């Protein structure tokens, strides 16, 4: 029986599975809807589709280095418990190797890559069906080193925070790791003040000015005094969010800029991933979470 677009749509509407999976199911079952539904269930695809609207804000970040290239990536799950099991760790390894070996440009491109005859997207779908939670490849970045560059890496022991620093010049491996560890701990938003946009500066200055004027302690103070107060607070804030201005966590007697200067390098790029950052998590009470686990 010919597989028509109408049949594919009907199967998709009934199961929530993707169009391509529905087409495969219908082709495998000679266009019979009920058998196609069974086929999808057996493959775990229907189960995975039902989880697609859940929030996956836990998971792990990973680092893989091969030759002159490194990939940093994040794979999300719904709970940190699942992120610790062997199947999820195996999936992380597969994703990391797939990314560094194929160098896709986008997540969409990555999901289309063939892994042992199946797309990476299908591999993830099978993992969802087996593990029982929504799993997503959220983001990644591939970094290529030039001949005159070096890197500093840090992956926290819980695999929830990772940092990659790229330097022009050759940096000692230990110092590079310490600087990457610093970024992981201190969360700088910019490499230096030169990287901070005028819009950001103007916005922060406006907020600090409003705060100063609304503070009863500053009532009656002239504008030039308030302006100096705002400048002081702004400089302090910029020192907290600029990597080079921060106090070095390994040696508080130094700023990061001192360490960079001592090692005769410059910071070219800074990438920090933390699991779930920027994802709005669903608030759920403990009892409900237990019941959700029981019902899987």
Per-residue pLDDT tens for 94-141? 999 999 999 999 999 999 999 999 999 999 988 888 888 889 999 999
Which residue, of 16, 33, 50, is where some domain finishes?
A: 50
| Domain membership flag for residue 15 | yes
| Domain membership flag for residue 282 | no
User: Which tokens go with 150?
Assistant: 């070096």
**Do 150 and 114 form a contact (C-beta atoms < 8 A)?**
no
Whether pLDDT at 206 is above 70: yes
What is residue 100's predicted lDDT score, i.e. its pLDDT?
98
Count how many domains the chain has. 2
Mean pLDDT for 77-105 is: 93
Mean pLDDT for 4-23 is: 81
Helix, strand, coil: what percent of the chain each, to 5?
50, 20, 30
61 plus 115 within the same structural domain: yes
Distances (CA, A) of 51 to 16, 46, 48: 10, 9, 5
Whether pLDDT at 227 is above 80: yes
**Do 115 and 98 form a contact (C-beta atoms < 8 A)?**
yes
pLDDT-derived band of residue 34, with 50, 70 and 90 as boundaries?
confident
pLDDT-derived band of residue 54, with 50, 70 and 90 as boundaries?
low
What is residue 280's predicted lDDT score, i.e. its pLDDT?
67
Q: Tell whether pTM > 0.85.
A: no
81 plus 139 within the same structural domain: yes
Question: Which residue do the tokens 């709970």 mark?
Answer: 79
User: Which tokens go with 40?
Assistant: 């999808």
| Domain membership flag for residue 264 | no
**Do 133 and 78 form a contact (C-beta atoms < 8 A)?**
yes
pLDDT-derived band of residue 294, with 50, 70 and 90 as boundaries?
very low
What is the phi/psi pair of residue 53, to 5°?
A: -95, 5
Which residue, of 119, 144, 169, is where some domain finishes?
A: 144
Does 40 or 261 have the greater pLDDT score? Answer: 261
39 plus 70 within the same structural domain: no
- The residue range of the domain holding 106 is 54-144
pLDDT-derived band of residue 75, with 50, 70 and 90 as boundaries?
very high
Whether pLDDT at 283 is above 80: no
């Amino acid at each position: 029986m010919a597989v028509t677009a109408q049949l594919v749509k009907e199967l998709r509407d009934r199961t929530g599975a993707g169009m391509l999976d529905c087409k495969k199911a219908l082709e495998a079952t000679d266009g019979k809807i009920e058998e196609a539904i069974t086929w999808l269930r057996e493959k775990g695809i229907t189960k995975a589709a039902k989880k697609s609207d859940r929030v996956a804000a836990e998971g792990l970040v990973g680092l893989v280095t091969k030759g002159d290239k490194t990939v940093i990536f994040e794979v999300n799950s719904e709970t940190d418990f699942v992120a610790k099991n062997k199947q999820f760790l195996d999936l992380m390894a597969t994703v990391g190797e797939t990314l560094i070996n194929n160098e896709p440009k986008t997540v969409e491109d990555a999901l289309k890559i063939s892994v042992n005859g199946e797309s990476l997207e299908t591999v993830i779908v099978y993992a969802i069906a087996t593990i029982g939670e929504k799993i997503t490849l959220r983001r990644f970045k591939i970094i290529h080193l030039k001949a005159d560059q070096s890197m500093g890496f840090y992956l926290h022991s819980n695999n929830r925070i990772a940092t990659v620093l790229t330097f022009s010049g050759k940096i000692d491996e230990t110092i590079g790791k310490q600087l990457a560890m610093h970024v992981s701990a201190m969360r700088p938003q910019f490499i230096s003040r030169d990287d901070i946009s005028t819009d950001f500066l103007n916005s922060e200055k406006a907020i600090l000015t409003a705060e100063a004027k609304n503070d009863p302690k500053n009532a009656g103070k002239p504008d030039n005094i308030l302006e100096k107060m705002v400048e002081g607070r702004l400089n302090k804030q910029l020192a907290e969010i600029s990597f080079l201005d921060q106090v070095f966590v390994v040696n508080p007697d130094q700023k990061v800029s001192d360490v960079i200067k001592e090692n005769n390098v410059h910071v070219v790029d800074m990438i920090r991933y933390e699991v779930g950052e920027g994802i709005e998590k669903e608030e759920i009470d403990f009892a409900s979470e237990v019941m959700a686990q029981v019902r899987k």
